[in-house]
Amino acid sequence: MDNSRSTVPALRRRTFLLGAGAAALAASAGGSLIGCAADDAAPRGPQGPPRPGGRLRSVIAGRSASVDVLDPYQAGSSAGGAVSKNVWDKLVAYNNDLTLRYRLAESLTPDADGSQWRIALRPGVVFSDGTPLTSRDVLWSFERMLDPAKHSSGDLSMVDMSRTRADGELGVIVGMKSPLADFGSVLAGWYCYVVKDGTTTFDARTLPVGTGPFALANWSPGDRTLLRRNDRYWDGQVLLDEVEIIQIAETEARVNAFLSGEADIVHEMSYLQARTLENDPDITVVLHPFGLMDSFQMRVDLPPFDDVRVRQAMRLAVDRQAMVDTVYYGYAEVGNDIYGKGAPFYDDSLPQRAYDPARARELLRQAGKENLTVTLQTADGMPGMIESATLFVEHAEAAGITVELESVPADTYFTRVAGKQPLTHVGWWNYSLDYFYGQTMTTGSPSNGTGWRNAAWDAKFTEVRATLDQDRRRVLYHELQEQLWNEGGYILHSFAKRPDAARNDVGGVRAGVPGTDDWANYTTTWLAR
Task: Report d(CA 527, CA 529) in Å as an integer.
Answer: 6
Q: In this structure, what CATH number is given to the domain that contains residue 312?
A: 3.10.105.10
Query: 257 and 365: one domain?
Result: no
Say which CATH number the domain at 95 has: 3.90.76.10
Residue type, 249: A
- Do 271 and 304 sit in the same domain of this protein? no
C-alpha dihedral (85, 86, 92, 94), degrees to nearest 10: 60
Q: What is the pLDDT, as a whole number, of residue 2? A: 33
Say if residue 188 is in the same domain as residue 233. Answer: no
**Tally of CA atoms within 13 A in the half-sphere of 327 that contains its CB:** 30
Is residue 79 situated within a structural domain?
no
Do both 330 and 477 map to the same domain?
A: yes
Range of the domain at 55: 3-65+212-287+499-527
What is the DSSP code (8-state) at residue 132? B
206 within domain boundaries: no
Assigned domain for 275 exists? yes
- Asked if 528 contacts 503 with a C-beta cutoff of 8 angstroms, the reply is no
pTM for this predicted structure: 0.80
Q: Which of 126, 159, 194 is the last residue of a domain?
A: 194
Q: Is residue 320 part of a domain?
A: yes
Instruction: Check residue 514 and report its DSSP letter.
Output: B
Residue 254 placed within a domain: yes
**Are residues 279 and 28 in contact, defined by beta-carbon separation less than 8 angstroms?**
no
Task: Give the residue from 164, 194, 224 where a domain finishes.
Answer: 194
Is residue 330 domain-shared with residue 396, that is, in the same domain? yes
- The CA distance from 183 to 52, in Å, is 37
CB neighbours of 416 closer than 8 A, spacing ≥ 6? none
Q: Give the pLDDT confidence score for residue 469 in this predicted structure.
A: 92
Is 484 in the same domain as 504?
no
Is residue 135 included in any domain, yes or no? yes
Tell whether 145 and 16 lie within a shared domain. no
pLDDT at 210: 98
Q: 98: helix, coil or strand?
A: coil
Same domain, 45 and 132: no
Q: Where are the alpha helices (DSSP H) in 8-100?
A: 10-28, 78-87
One domain, residues 268 and 406 = no
* CB distance 95 to 516 below 8 Å: yes
DSSP-assigned states of every residue in 418-459? TTTSSEEEEEE----HHHHHHHHTSTT-TT-TT----HHHHH
227: helix, strand or coil: strand
Considering the domain architecture, whether residues 115 and 167 belong to the same structural domain is answered as yes
- Kindly state whether residue 82 falls inside one of the protein's structural domains: no
CATH for 32: 3.40.190.10
Rg of the chain over CA atoms, in angstroms? 23
User: Between β-strands 55-60 and 242-247, what pairing exists: parallel, antiparallel or unpaired?
Assistant: parallel
104 and 133 Cβ atoms separated by less than 8 Å: yes
Nearest to 399 by CA among 367, 377, 422: 367
Residues 417 and 488 in one domain: yes
For residues 13 and 151, state if they share a domain.
no
Does residue 315 sit within a domain? yes
Is the Cβ–Cβ distance between 465 and 180 less than 8 Å? yes
Of 140, 159, 194, at which residue does a domain stop?
A: 194
CA distances to 244, 308, 378 from 283, rounded to whole Å, are: 19, 47, 30
Number of domains in the chain: 3
pLDDT per residue as tens, the chain (529 positions): 333 322 222 222 222 222 333 333 233 323 322 333 333 344 577 888 999 999 999 999 988 888 899 999 988 789 999 999 999 999 999 998 888 999 999 999 999 999 999 999 999 999 999 999 999 999 999 999 998 877 666 678 889 999 999 999 999 999 999 899 999 999 998 889 999 999 999 999 999 999 999 999 999 999 999 999 999 999 999 999 999 999 998 888 999 999 999 999 999 888 899 999 999 999 999 998 889 999 999 999 999 999 999 999 999 999 999 999 999 998 999 999 999 998 899 999 999 999 999 999 999 999 999 999 999 999 988 889 999 999 999 999 999 999 999 999 988 898 899 999 999 999 998 889 998 999 899 998 989 999 999 999 999 999 999 999 999 999 999 999 999 999 999 999 999 998 999 999 999 999 899 889 999 999 999 999 8
